Structure 1
């Protein structure tokens, strides 16, 4: 039977630290080179150093957010996630609570909500040809 040699955890930690440092170095050098090749010529901006390039990357992350993974709040599929969440929430509501929520939507988003729900001109042409019942929030 072949036994696998166990590598101490310290070496794994050191490996990931080295890979992280290598990634940050490549990122800083890449941003610095792109900046120094483009910005001074196009906009007469300053030439930056490696550390300033890393600072720009950090500033960009602080301003525009981190990579939220697969469940980003406003990313791909956010509308569908919101719709599923609202549907599950409304299944447990009484008719009175649902009506209060509809009124709240009308108050908070009058243009967006009324465009599809209450505008008679909008729904006038589709009332006779509709094949399935409307589902309201």
Structure 2
């Protein structure tokens, strides 16, 4: 049983390394085949620069979502959490909301006067 578990871990690591390497190679080839020809002054990149570009684009545009952010994983999902907090906020009385705003304002250092209460908004 230990061998199969270790084998799965080693297989997963090998697959991840191969997949990341393949993605870096694809990014490098696509960059080098298109951008230097389309945009003057853009030079070809190396494999390691392609991996860095892939990582940067993942950080900027995709994030690193793991299984903890998918529905059904331990009952935790970011969207479910936001919805649950919004429902709880709606159930608070106006006095409780104001106390909560003041408490969080003191914690976060925001000015309570700067943000009007949503129940007293001027509708014109």
TM superposition score normalised by structure 1: 0.56
- 1:96 corresponding residue in structure 2: 95
Runs of 4+ in 1 over 4 A off after TM superposition: 99-102, 104-107
Distance 2:83 2:2 in 1: 48
- 1:54 corresponding residue in structure 2: 51
For residues 1-137 of structure 1, the aligned pairs below 5 Å read 6=1, 8=3, 9-44=5-40, 45-64=42-61, 65-67=63-65, 69-70=69-70, 71=77, 82=82, 84-91=84-91, 93-98=92-97, 107-108=114-115, 118-120=122-124
Aligned residues: 104
* CA offset digits 1:43-64 (Å, max 9, x no partner): 1211011111111112223334
Q: Post-superposition shift, 1:22?
A: 1.3
Q: Which has the higher helix share?
A: 2
Distance 1:26 1:96 in 2: 57
Q: Is the radius of gyration larger for structure 1 or structure 2?
A: 1
Structure 1 unpaired stretches of 5+: 1-5, 73-77, 121-137
Q: Post-superposition shift, 1:7?
A: 6.6
